[in-house]
């Protein structure tokens, strides 16, 4: 009953851009979209979040579809340190996080 | 600034025993959350404290789970008695109260194995 769906795995070559997709067709008007990533033996780490407009920060960009039913996390130049599981998450008005199953990103040197 | 810490990092217990997990949030964070990931499933919300009060405990699976946050600082999550299906990774997260939809800062998790 996950609210977001993501591909199980993706690969990217080092120093190339990576586009990680997420579908959230049941999103409500007040739900925020968050992306976190998780390295082995660590907890999830914040990457980026947004509501309606595209967002950029030093780590990544978030592109949100106009109907908000999907979003894409963009890593502009993948490095080996970006290899992780990336979670697309919806947060409700109570700030409860609904995690997807995550995409395992492999970066190929 | 110290991050969210959790103790123990690993716990192996037998079915029927009791286990208590501890979470120390970032100092000054009013919000504290517990999540868990059981085998093959996504990470799921358990409950949310604002200071010492339970704001939302809709994700607690059953009455074998008891969470407390006395004094609004650290929190404990007790499982009594533990069952096989409780095995998984338990994460704690905290956030300050100021902003809406603020970032949650996660601890490294406690890996629980019930035999």
pLDDT (tens digit, 9 = 90+) per residue, B81-114?
999 999 999 999 999 876 666 789 999 999 999 9
Calculate ∠ Cα A3-A8-A9, nearest 5°: 140
For A28: left if phi > 0, alpha if psi spans -120 to 50, otherwise beta; the answer is beta
- Scanning A34-93 for CB atoms below 8 A from B yields 36, 41-46, 49, 51, 87, 91
CA–CA separation, A32 vs A14, rounded Å? 30
Question: Closest-CA residue in chain A for B105?
Answer: A45
For B89, what's the count of Cα atoms within 13 Å in the CB-facing half-sphere?
A: 18
Average of per-residue pLDDT values in chain A: 93
Q: Which two tokens stand for residue A81?
A: 């340190």
Contact B107 A43 (CB under 8 A): yes
Q: Which two tokens stand for residue B73?
A: 């600082």
pLDDT (tens digit per residue) in B43-54: 999 999 999 999
């Amino acid at each position: 009953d996950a609210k977001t769906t993501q591909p199980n795995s993706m690969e990217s070559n080092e120093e190339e851009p990576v586009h990680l997709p997420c579908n959230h067709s049941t999103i409500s008007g007040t739900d925020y979209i968050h992306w976190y990533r998780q390295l082995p033996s660590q907890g999830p780490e914040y990457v980026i979040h947004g509501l309606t407009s595209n967002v950029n920060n030093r780590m990544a960009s978030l592109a949100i579809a106009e109907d908000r039913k999907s979003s894409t996390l963009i890593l502009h130049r993948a490095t080996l340190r970006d290899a992780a599981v990336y979670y697309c998450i919806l947060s409700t008005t109570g700030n409860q996080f609904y995690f997807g199953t995550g995409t395992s990103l492999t970066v190929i040197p | 600034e110290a991050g969210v810490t959790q103790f123990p990092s690993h716990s192996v217990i037998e079915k029927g025993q009791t286990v208590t997990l501890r979470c120390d949030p970032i100092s000054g964070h009013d919000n504290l959350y517990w999540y868990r990931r059981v085998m093959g499933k996504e990470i799921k919300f358990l409950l949310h404290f604002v200071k010492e009060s339970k704001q939302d405990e809709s994700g607690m699976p059953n009455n074998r789970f008891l969470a407390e946050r006395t004094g609004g600082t650290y929190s404990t999550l007790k499982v009594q008695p533990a069952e096989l299906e409780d095995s998984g990774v338990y994460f704690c997260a905290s956030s300050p109260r100021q902003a809406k939809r603020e970032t949650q800062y996660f601890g490294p998790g406690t890996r629980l194995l019930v035999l």
